[in-house]
Amino acid sequence: MSNRGKKTLNVSEQRCRFYEDEFPKVDELCLVRFDSVDNTGCYYVSLLEYDMKQGMILQSEISRRRVRSVSKIARVGQVHVASVLRVDSQHGFIDLSKKNVEESEVHMAEERYANAKLVHTVMAQLAAITEIPLLELNEHITWPLYRKYKHGYNAFMQILETGPEIVDEWKKEGVEDLDFELLEKVFDTLYEHITRRLAPSPKKVKAVLNVTCFCPRGVELIRDALRAAEAVDCGDIALTVRLDVAPEYVIETTSSNVREAKLAITKAIEAAKSVIVSGNGTCIVTHEPNVLDEAAEEKK
């Protein structure tokens, strides 16, 4: 490993390509920024994912359609998705095409770039804090995880879901080229930044029950059933039970962990059923626990 520098670098100073390969592969889709155009209509571009390596797009590769002014399609300063035509890694030449990119491929390429940029940003922040060169972190942590999970973003999501225990799992699996000594040294800081960046926003999850009981103590039993549902121990998830339109009642919660929220509501439903059934009442789930469609609710 390289020597640690004494100077703390800013995130903006931590330059490095996003991926392990120094150059893109032929037919790979890349996001490029149009930097300049010469008098022949040839565009010079920078590849955003490859540490701003320079590429070239001929005017004939801009559009399949005949256009009077190519500048209306591709202007200097704009970012577009382009397909790699040729790569000469020895001389650093990269030829690309904009016209070869299908409309359906644009979103896919943009999503891949956005996820890779997020991974890059987190690792650059980690490098600045730990004073470990970004390239070193990428070589010993990021890129081995890219190989295992197809994308670093997928690895980050796995870290977010599993927590620190994931390191032990990787040790058992023997992830190739992953530097566990370095990973354990920086993991707490890495986990903090991943959690901050990737933690899902809270979602409202709800279920709707039809609760009836016609015995002499029916009203009291319904009340007890709903209290039992609300009193269920669900850890950090707090449940709310409310009347919607009699005889329908709503059990809902807001949580960033949708899976756990659904399990908690299911547990509450079972608690309500056990009480109401004791008085020969019924508890029918008319809407299973699910994420609330906020747009649909607003239209009501």
Q: Which backbone phi and psi does 236 adopt, to 5 degrees?
A: -80, -5
Stretch 279-300: mean pLDDT: 76
CA atoms within 13 A on the CB side of 75: 3
Q: How many whole angstroms separate alpha carbon 253 and alpha carbon 241?
A: 9
Question: CA 176, 170, 5 angle in degrees (round to 5)?
Answer: 70
Dump pLDDT digits (tens) for 65-75: 776 666 677 88
pLDDT(2) > 50: no
Contact 17, 139 (CB under 8 A): no
Quick one: 214 and 236 in the same domain? yes
The DSSP secondary-structure symbol of 21 reads S
Quick one: 208 and 291 in the same domain? yes
Using the 3D structure, point to which of 62, 81, 101 is the last residue of a domain: 101
Stretch 36-48: mean pLDDT: 92
Q: CATH number of the domain that 130 lies in?
A: 1.10.150.190
Q: How many whole angstroms separate alpha carbon 166 and alpha carbon 156?
A: 11
Classify residue 3: in a domain, yes or no. no
Classify residue 243: in a domain, yes or no. yes
Between residues 31 and 197, the one the model is more confident about: 31
Q: How many whole angstroms separate alpha carbon 164 and alpha carbon 198?
A: 16
Contacts of 53 (CB under 8 A, 6+ apart): 17, 23, 46, 47, 92, 94
Classify residue 70: in a domain, yes or no. yes
Dump pLDDT digits (tens) for 73-106: 788 999 999 999 999 999 999 999 999 999 999 9
Quick one: 208 and 157 in the same domain? no
Contact 55, 94 (CB under 8 A): yes
| CA-closest candidate to residue 47, choices 59, 60, 34, 66 | 34
Using the 3D structure, point to which of 66, 101, 136 is the last residue of a domain: 101
Classify residue 24: in a domain, yes or no. no
Q: How many whole angstroms separate alpha carbon 88 and alpha carbon 110?
A: 25
Quick one: 214 and 165 in the same domain? no
pLDDT of amino acid 209: 95
pLDDT of amino acid 197: 87
- Give me the percent of the chain exceeding a pLDDT of 70: 91
CA atoms within 13 A on the CB side of 20: 14
Quick one: 185 and 246 in the same domain? no
Question: CA 219, 225, 228 angle in degrees (round to 5)?
Answer: 140
Domain membership of residue 283 as a residue range: 203-299
Q: CATH number of the domain that 223 lies in?
A: 3.30.70.1130
* Structure tokens that stand for 78 in this block: 């704009």
Examine residue 247 and say whether the peptide bond preceding it is cis (omega within 30 degrees of 0): yes
pLDDT level of residue 39 (50, 70, 90 thresholds): confident
Query: Is the C-alpha dihedral spanning 217, 220, 223, 229 positive or negative?
Result: negative
The tally of domains found in the chain comes to: 3
pLDDT of amino acid 293: 65
Quick one: 91 and 161 in the same domain? no
Classify residue 182: in a domain, yes or no. yes
Contacts of 270 (CB under 8 A, 6+ apart): none
Dump pLDDT digits (tens) for 245-277: 889 999 999 988 888 899 999 999 999 999 999
Dump pLDDT digits (tens) for 129-165: 999 999 999 999 999 999 999 999 999 999 988 888 9
> Alpha helices of 131-210 — where are they, by DSSP H?
134-137, 143-149, 152-162, 165-173, 180-198
Look at the pTM and tell me if it is higher than 0.75: no
pLDDT(233) > 50: yes
Q: CATH number of the domain that 40 lies in?
A: 2.40.50.140
pLDDT level of residue 3 (50, 70, 90 thresholds): very low
Classify residue 74: in a domain, yes or no. yes
Q: How many whole angstroms separate alpha carbon 133 and alpha carbon 144?
A: 16
Using the 3D structure, point to which of 166, 198, 230 is the last residue of a domain: 198
Our CA dihedral for 57, 59, 60, 61, rounded to 10 degrees, sits at 30
Angle (deg, nearest 10), helices 258-277 and 218-230: 150
Between residues 75 and 27, the one the model is more confident about: 27
